[in-house]
């Protein structure tokens, strides 16, 4: 008889409690959160990247001309598709006017010698750039690590910290500018030296034969096209220097800027190229299904052994670095909801407002509102009430030296029952 009364009464009581919790929109009924596992927020490096398909393409198309006034084509020494090195013979032409051509070549050699000397002088002066803070631009952003520095105690200490930060940023920025400038000068110097050597060879050939000049290749590459006699340029060369060339959709183009770092992996090869975006189109290359597509190019540095394995046309998986956070407190992206993260302290679960920086599929960097070591629920996607929480009793995780101070019989019993 008692069983017949007890079981229905228990069922009614359970359903009544469920109903009360379900219809309690104002939170007047207290709740105890059950959290199976928790974890501590760790400081991590977080990269936010954008993936884009890309291929290796020739950095330049180099035209080789023969002006009709200079002479007429005598013999073509290469064919379309031939690989050539810098200085290889391309074609020979019959000089129309020996005296005029001799004067033009001599003047060209003089000009190239002056330009080469100017570039060499500029290269020698690179390291003399003053890196003192006063000699650098004043619109340098203060590094994020200094923005939240605790400088409340002394205003002078804060000023000193910011000055040191600006000095450090200035020196790093100057070093980058110097390196980019050095690379561009080295490239320009190589081009001037190649042009000078070619002009000297042409002048020597003219003086030897009195009639013919052999035109040599200004750079290493592949013969892309040979024009019909009378058209210009006579030969077009795809340079052997390669760049990363890709395409961005309209929405992606809005996130990308020149100078951003790229990492490109060669399919099935294991080679990873690192560089930066040097060209970013402002006009769409094509429009498909009401979506505009914009091209970009990125240069990279590679070791000689790697460079020998790379060929134009290789497909790449390219990641563009949009944002980066160094050793920032990081959580799973789905542990953040409406700019808040559930945290645990003093036996209670509550929300903490946070600001989010670099984010990827696995990590989200917290720029403010949370410090490394904060305890949060481990299971992403679980959201709780601002009420006390219980968790299974896990003696292996207890700090026994602090156990007596933190022990309460109520919480202990709830955890033990759940365990």
Model confidence band, residue 96 (pLDDT cutoffs 50, 70, 90): confident
Check residue 408 and give its pLDDT.
Answer: 55
d(CA 270, CA 317): 11
* pLDDT tens-digit series, residues 128-140: 654 443 343 433 3
Of 239, 260, 285, which residue is a domain's last?
239
Residue 189, token pair as written in the block: 């110097």
pLDDT confidence bin for 349, thresholds 50/70/90: confident
Whether 92 and 232 map to the same domain: the answer is: yes
| pLDDT surpasses 60 at 102 | yes
End of a domain among 211, 239, 267?
239
Please report the DSSP string for 194-225 in residue order: HHHHHHHHHHHHHHHHSSEEEEE-SSSEEEEE
C-alpha pair distances (Å), 400 with each of 130, 193, 245, 308, 414 = 59, 75, 60, 61, 19
Would you say how long the chain is, in residues? Answer: 419
pLDDT single digits (tens) 201-227: 888 888 888 888 989 898 889 999 998
Using the predicted structure, report yes or no on whether residue 253 has a pLDDT greater than 90.
yes
Distance CA(199)–CA(76), nearest Å, equals: 19
Closest CA to 91 of 105, 73, 67: 73
Residues 313 and 211 in one domain: no
Domain with 303 in it? 49-56+241-324
Strand order across the beta sheet in which 71-76 lies: 71-76, 89-95, 212-216
Domain containing residue 259: CATH number: 2.40.30.170
329 and 316 fall within a common domain: no
Tell me, yes or no, if the pTM score tops 0.75: no
Whether 256 and 356 share a structural domain? no
Q: What is the pLDDT of residues 354-363, one digit of tens each?
A: 999 999 999 9
Reading the block at residue 346, the tokens are 């003093």
> Are 368 and 333 members of one domain?
yes
Please report the sign of the dihedral spanned by the C-alpha atoms of residue 113, residue 115, residue 121, residue 126.
Answer: negative
Q: Are 69 and 218 contained in the same domain?
A: yes
> Which of 266, 296, 324 marks a domain boundary?
324
Characterize the bridge pairing of strands 89-95 and 212-216.
antiparallel
Distance CA 194, CA 188 (A): 10
Of 35-44, 201-210, 340-349, the one with minimum mean pLDDT is 340-349
pLDDT in tens, 148-184: 333 334 444 444 554 555 455 456 666 766 777 777 7
Cβ atoms 192, 112 nearer than 8 A: yes
Residue 84: the pLDDT is 92
Same domain for 202 and 80: yes
Are 121 and 253 found together in one domain? no
Are 231 and 182 in the same domain?
yes
138 and 225 co-located in one domain = yes
Query: Same structural domain for residues 199 and 89?
Result: yes
Compute the distance between CA of residue 196 and CA of residue 194 in angstroms, rounded to an integer: 5
Tens of pLDDT along 394-411?
555 556 555 555 555 555
For the chain, percent of residues with pLDDT exceeding 70: 69
Q: Which residue has the tokens 């394995």?
A: 309
pLDDT of residue 107: 92
pLDDT band at 38 (very low <50, low <70, confident <90, very high): confident
| Rg of the chain over all Cα atoms, to the nearest angstrom | 35
Buried b (16+ CB within 10 A) or exposed e, 23-47: eeeeeeeeeebebeebeebebbebb
The DSSP annotation for 360-407 comes to: -SS-EEEEES--TT-EEESSTT----SSBEE----GGG--HHHHHHH-
pLDDT at 296: 95
- In the chain, how many domains are there? 4
Same domain for 34 and 4 = no
Looking up tokens 């770092």, which residue turns up?
261
Beta bridge partners of 275: 262, 300
pLDDT on residue 8: 66
């Amino acid at each position: 008889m008692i069983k017949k009364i007890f079981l229905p009464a228990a069922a009614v009581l359970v359903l009544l409690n469920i109903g009360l919790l379900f219809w309690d929109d104002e939170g007047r009924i207290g709740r105890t959160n059950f959290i199976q596992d928790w974890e501590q927020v760790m400081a991590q490096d977080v990269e936010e990247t954008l993936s884009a398909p890309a291929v290796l393409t020739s950095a330049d198309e180099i035209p080789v001309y023969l002006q009709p006034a200079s002479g007429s084509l005598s013999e073509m020494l290469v064919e379309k598709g031939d690989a050539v090195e810098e200085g290889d013979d391309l074609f020979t032409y019959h000089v129309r006017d020996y005296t005029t051509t001799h004067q033009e070549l001599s003047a060209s050699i003089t000009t190239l010698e002056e330009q080469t000397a100017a570039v060499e002088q500029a290269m020698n002066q690179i390291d003399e750039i003053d890196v003192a803070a006063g000699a650098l631009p004043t619109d340098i952003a203060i590094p994020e690590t200094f923005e939240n520095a605790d400088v409340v105690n002394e205003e002078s200490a804060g000023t000193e910290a910011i000055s040191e930060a600006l000095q450090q940023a200035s020196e790093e920025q100057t070093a980058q500018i110097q390196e980019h400038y050095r690379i561009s000068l080295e490239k320009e110097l190589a081009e001037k030296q190649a042009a000078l050597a070619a002009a000297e060879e042409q002048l020597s050939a003219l003086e030897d034969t009195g009639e013919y000049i052999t035109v040599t290749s200004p750079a290493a590459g592949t013969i892309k096209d040979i024009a019909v006699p009378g058209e210009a340029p006579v030969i077009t060369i795809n340079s052997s220097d390669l760049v990363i060339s890709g395409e961005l959709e309209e929405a992606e183009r809005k996130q990308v800027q020149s100078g951003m770092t790229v990492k490109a992996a060669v399919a099935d090869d294991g080679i990873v190229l690192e560089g930066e975006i040097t060209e970013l189109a402002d006009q769409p290359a094509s429009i498909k299904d009401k979506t505009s597509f914009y091209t970009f190019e990125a240069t990279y540095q590679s070791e000689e052994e790697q460079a020998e394995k790379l060929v134009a046309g290789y497909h790449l998986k390219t990641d563009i670095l949009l944002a980066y956070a160094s050793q920032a407190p990081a959580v799973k992206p789905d542990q953040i909801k409406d700019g808040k993260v559930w945290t645990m302290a003093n036996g209670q679960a509550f929300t903490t407002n946070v600001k989010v920086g670099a984010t990827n599929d696995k990590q989200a960097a917290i720029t403010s509102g949370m410090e490394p070591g904060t305890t949060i629920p481990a299971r992403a996607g679980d959201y709780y009430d601002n009420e006390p929480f219980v968790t299974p009793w896990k003696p292996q995780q207890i700090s026994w030296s602090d156990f007596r101070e933190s022990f309460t019989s109520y919480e202990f019993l709830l955890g033990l029952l759940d365990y």
